[in-house]
Amino acid sequence: KTERECWDSNALRNNFVVALSDMYQEEVPLYSTLVDIVRQVDQAKIGSGQLPRRHELERHGAIRLGTGREMNCIRRLFAVLGMHPVGYYDLSVMGLPLHATAFRPIDESCLESNPFRVFATLLRVDELPFEIRDLVETVLYQRDIFPPRLLQTLTRLEAGERLLDQDAIDLIADALEVFRWHSRSPTSLVQYKSMHSAHPIIADIVCFPSAHINHLTPRTLDIDMVQAEMIKHGLPAKARIEGPPRRNCPILLRQTSFQALQEDVEFRGPDGAFIPYTHTARFGEIEQRGAALTRKGRRLYDDLLALARQRIGDAPEGSPESETAFAEAFAGFPDTWSELRAQDLVYFKYTLVPGSEAVMAGRKAMSMADLVSQGVLSYEPITYEDFLPFSAVGIFMSNVKTESNGSSTRTHETGPGAKSSLEEVLGCRILDEFDLYRSMQRRSIDDCRRVLGLEQI
């Protein structure tokens, strides 16, 4: 991909995120409150310092789709915005056949420019119990959530046409339509109710005529402070922050949310007229991002999380017992950058310490350990750009009012077959997040090696 194209998609993504965030502030005023709280907390945190450049507009969103065609068109749209599917998430522990990927920029410079990501979940309709499948299919196959002009623009771009100014403006306007909330449902109240009682998420995915954004999440520098502020402002905050406990060296992702809102909606009644009802799905979330873990680090994280959960047992979420269990379990995860590096638990970006080349004195090879201990290279953790399936499930669950009788609950086929079926729907491979972090680290090492004139590090 050329520099120029990369710049274009960065500009498009940036404009799109601003427009989407504005739209969502109007749709969900509490999101606006949350953005204000985050801004105040982060400003207080850095004092007179400067926020990292990419931080100001950093957001992630989430959508839920009903058909393979929808997922495929979403992939095409996000490709134009410089966002590609990374990571496979199996969400079937929700008791529903759901799987997901995250669309995000992959190049370092694109991430730096605007790291917008969208978690996109697909309902695997074929795997639904047959009592509900027919209804779901009937409703889904009657809708088209994409404005025709948008699909035409995507086809033109894919054929190599360039985006002129008006095209870009139209593209962003049309893309917003895909994610806009509609309080009027084309579905009948009876249909809505039967889907809702099978599982509220089915009703949310199927009954509304868009891929409505269900939350938009700003990133904060201090999630504990934001959580405390949310409670102070009377927002219905989740009891516990998902992810690892607070640490010196932040890793992966910590997230919290406020509960979904009950919103006024309208469905068709028996005589075809609209009747007022309510629907609960959209919520607000915040996140704090830490370092990307290596596979080894991730295994340790997963083991400690399982250990904590086992110790917690039935203790309520957020209770002192459960917080202690978390803290004790995670004491097993090293908490200094040098130890995390020595044990190969985190990915790092290496840079040359200016003026340190003298140490080299014509050498052709030097180990990484020596280069670091002799002060030739310094390192900083690479930021985790992805999601955590357990947190995703926690967030999902905390926003579902389950009056569902669990009849749709059963186990679903998972594993490599499921991932390749999502790739087939997308029409492209899902990138592996570990590979991406590893090559970022490798590139930084190679750059240093070349400048130092070493054959090998």
Going from the C-alpha of 50 to that of each of 37, 43, 53, 56, the distances in angstroms are 18, 9, 8, 10
List, in order, residues 6 or more apart from 357 with CB less than 8 Å away: 376, 451, 452
| Residue 132 interaction partner, one of ligand OOG, Ni ion, none, beta carbon < 5-8 Å per kind | none
| 187-216 binders of ligand OOG (CB under 6 A) | 214
Residue 16 vs 119, nearer CB to ligand OOG: 119
| 294-353 binders of ligand OOG (CB under 6 A) | none
| Residue 221 interaction partner, one of Ni ion, ligand OOG, none, beta carbon < 5-8 Å per kind | none
Contact stretch for ligand OOG (CB under 6 A) within 68-76, 163-171, 350-358, 387-395? 387-395
- Say whether residue 391 binds ligand OOG (CB under 6 A): yes
- Compute how many other C-beta atoms are within 10 angstroms of the C-beta atom of residue 421: 16
Angle CA(226)–CA(99)–CA(89) in degrees, nearest 5? 60
Instruction: Point out which residues pair with 262 in neighbouring strands.
Output: 280
Residue 78 vs 119, nearer CB to ligand OOG: 119
Gap between the Cα atoms of 455 and 457, Å rounded: 7
- Say whether residue 64 binds ligand OOG (CB under 6 A): yes
| Residue 146 interaction partner, one of Ni ion, ligand OOG, none, beta carbon < 5-8 Å per kind | none
- Say whether residue 31 binds ligand OOG (CB under 6 A): no
The least CB distance from residue 190 to ligand OOG, in Å, is: 25
Residue 70 identity (one-letter amino acid): E
Q: Which residue has the tokens 């609950």?
A: 409
Contact residue for ligand OOG among 62, 251, 372, 448 (CB under 6 A): 62
| 106-125 binders of ligand OOG (CB under 6 A) | 119, 121
User: Total binding residues for ligand OOG by CB under 6 A?
Assistant: 12
Residue 139 vs 281, nearer CB to ligand OOG: 281
Burial-class residue 34 by CB neighbours within 10 Å (0-12, 13-18, 19+): buried
Gap between the Cα atoms of 13 and 10, Å rounded: 5
List, in order, residues 6 or more apart from 83 with CB less than 8 Å away: 13, 103, 104, 105, 116, 117, 118
- Say whether residue 392 binds ligand OOG (CB under 6 A): yes
Residue 395 vs 425, nearer CB to ligand OOG: 395
| Residue 257 interaction partner, one of Ni ion, ligand OOG, none, beta carbon < 5-8 Å per kind | none
Do residues 61 and 114 lie in contact, with contact meaning Cβ atoms separated by under 8 Å?
no
Kind and range of the H or E run holding 224:
helix 223-232
Do residues 395 and 91 lie in contact, with contact meaning Cβ atoms separated by under 8 Å?
no
Angle CA(132)–CA(93)–CA(327) in degrees, nearest 5? 150
Read off the tokens for 114: 């605007």
The least CB distance from residue 321 to ligand OOG, in Å, is: 25
Contact stretch for ligand OOG (CB under 6 A) within 10-18, 132-140, 292-300, 388-396? 388-396
Instruction: Point out which residues pair with 242 in neighbouring strands.
Output: 255
**How far does CA 99 lie from the centroid of its chain?**
13
Read off the tokens for 306: 């399982």
Residue 201 vs 377, nearer CB to ligand OOG: 201
- Say whether residue 219 binds ligand OOG (CB under 6 A): no
- Say whether residue 258 binds ligand OOG (CB under 6 A): no
Residue 101 vs 217, nearer CB to Ni ion: 217
Contact stretch for ligand OOG (CB under 6 A) within 230-238, 263-271, 391-399, 431-439? 391-399
The least CB distance from residue 44 to Ni ion, in Å, is: 24
- Say whether residue 387 binds ligand OOG (CB under 6 A): yes
Site string for Ni ion, 237-276 (x = CB under 5 A): ----------------------------------------
Residue 8 vs 385, nearer CB to ligand OOG: 385
The least CB distance from residue 24 to ligand OOG, in Å, is: 14
3-class secondary-structure state, position 65: strand
The least CB distance from residue 63 to ligand OOG, in Å, is: 7
- Say whether residue 185 binds ligand OOG (CB under 6 A): no
- Compute how many other C-beta atoms are within 10 angstroms of the C-beta atom of residue 200: 21
Gap between the Cα atoms of 407 and 400, Å rounded: 16
- Compute how many other C-beta atoms are within 10 angstroms of the C-beta atom of residue 385: 22
Phi, psi values for residue 63, rounded to 5°: -135, 160
> Residues in the site for Ni ion, rule: CB under 5 A?
217, 285
> Residues in the site for ligand OOG, rule: CB under 6 A?
62, 64, 119, 121, 214, 255, 285, 387, 391-392, 395-396
